[in-house]
């Protein structure tokens, strides 16, 4: 307290403290993964090499995903094998519900074809399930194994996928 009973504001005193669960994998670790074999960084056994650095992540190294996995008494080795993954992220009826919510919030979803629409909604459902609401300009790269599983379920007819794109400022 300052003289006279006034509260003295200290620099950074209202800034949130760091949360170890919020910390993500450092960029320099991910950059070298483009040159590594998947077996060198994947610990779940279901990842596949992705074309960009941020996408080469295993589900077992993302704290928010690992926390969802560890909510089970006997967690599977991979998030794609979690018993909640199919009903939350792959089930057509869940994705149709997600589409209705999306339309109510943002208007029509303008994506080419059913598979593309469901793939996009599956990614959004996974993010919502593990991270909750992120906000308009916040994006997170998804684990390679999860992206792979969603792409198997809802493939692009021409094999063209966009991949992770950071938000534009």
Q: Give the pLDDT confidence of 95-133 residue by residue, as tens digits.
A: 999 999 999 988 888 888 999 999 999 999 999 999 998
* pLDDT tens-digit map of 69-94: 999 999 999 999 999 999 999 999 99
In a domain, 160, yes or no: no
Query: What pTM does this model have?
Result: 0.77
Name the residue with tokens 């534009």.
168
In a domain, 161, yes or no: no
In a domain, 113, yes or no: yes
In a domain, 108, yes or no: yes
Q: How many residues does the chain have?
A: 169
Better pLDDT: 118 or 21? 118
Q: How confident is the model at residue 18 (pLDDT cuts 50, 70, 90)?
A: very low
In a domain, 165, yes or no: no
Q: How many domains does the chain have?
A: 1
In a domain, 163, yes or no: no
In a domain, 158, yes or no: no
Nearest to 124 by CA among 112, 113, 105: 105
Domain of 37, in residue numbers: 3-153
In a domain, 168, yes or no: no
């Amino acid at each position: 307290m300052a003289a006279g009973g006034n509260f003295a504001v200290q620099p950074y005193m209202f800034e949130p403290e760091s949360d170890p669960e919020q910390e993500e994998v450092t960029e320099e670790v991910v950059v070298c993964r483009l040159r590594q074999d998947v077996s060198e960084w994947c610990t779940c056994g279901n990842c596949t090499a992705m074309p960009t650095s941020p996408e080469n992540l295993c589900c077992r190294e993302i704290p928010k995903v690992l926390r969802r996995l560890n909510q089970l008494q006997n967690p599977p080795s991979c998030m794609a094998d979690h018993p909640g993954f199919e009903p939350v992220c792959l089930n057509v009826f869940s994705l149709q519900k997600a589409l209705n919510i999306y339309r109510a919030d943002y208007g029509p979803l303008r994506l080419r074809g059913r598979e593309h629409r469901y793939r996009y909604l599956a990614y959004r459902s996974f993010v919502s399930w593990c991270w909750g609401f992120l906000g308009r300009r916040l994006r997170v790269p998804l684990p390679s194994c999860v992206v792979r599983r969603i792409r198997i379920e809802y493939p692009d007819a021409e094999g063209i996928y966009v991949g992770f794109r950071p938000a534009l400022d």
